Amino acid sequence: MKIVTANDLKSGAVIWWTGVGWSLDVNEAADVGDDGAKVIAREEGAQNAVSAYVIDAEKDEQGVRPAHIKERIRAFGPTVRLDLTVKPADANAVNWVI
């Protein structure tokens, strides 16, 4: 699947396009197929999201997993501070990233 990621203008937080808006949770990311460029043009024009781009990802029973480690770190947080990950209580969060 192809998903769109960006940073929230005000907070800088990593966000994911859900099809109708932006979410902090990668698992809510929508498959944009070939429409990524259109989404980015519209959303960056709206001035709420910055540095948007399309990435490859896979979806299975555990959720949406970006294909590249860089994007997984963006999605789940730094691998060296479990307290700063998106799922701080989940000891397996880092394994999911790597």
Partner 1 sequence: MYKYDEYDQQMVDTRVAEFRDQVRRRLAGELTEDQFKPLRLQNGLYLQLHAYMLRVAVPYGTMNSAQMKVLGDIADKYDRGYGHFTTRTNIQYNWIKLEDTPDALADLAKVEMHAIQTSGNCIRNISSDQYAGASADEVVDPRPYAELLRQWSSFHPEFLVLPRKFKIAVIASEIDRAAMRLHDIGINLVRNEAGEVGAEFYVGGGMGRTPFVAKKIKDFVPIDQMVTYAEACVRVYNRYGRRDNKYKARIKILVHELGLEAYSKEVDAEFAHLLSQPIEPPLAELERIQAMFFDPAFETGLSDELDLSDPDFRLWVERNTYAHKAPGYVIANVSLKPIGGIPGDATSDQIRLMADLAKDYSFDELRVTHAQNIVFPHVKKSDLYALWQKLEKADLSTPNLDTVGDIIACPGLDYCSLANARSIPVAQKISERFGSAERQAEIGELKLKISGCINACGHHHAGHIGILGVDKKGKENYQLLLGGSEGADTSLAKITGPGFDEDGVVDATEKAIDVYLANKQGDERFLDTYRRIGMAPFKEAIYG
Single residue of 18, 79, 82, 96 touching partner 1 by CB under 8 A? 79
Distance CA 80, CA 9 (A): 26
- Residue 69 found at the interface with partner 1 (CB under 8 A): yes
Distance CA 45, CA 52 (A): 11
Single residue of 38, 42, 59, 68 touching partner 1 by CB under 8 A? 68
Distance CA 59, CA 11 (A): 27
Single residue of 42, 50, 58, 88 touching partner 1 by CB under 8 A? 50
Distance CA 65, CA 60 (A): 8
Binding mask 8-37 vs partner 1 (x if CB under 8 A, - otherwise)? -xxxxxx-----------------------
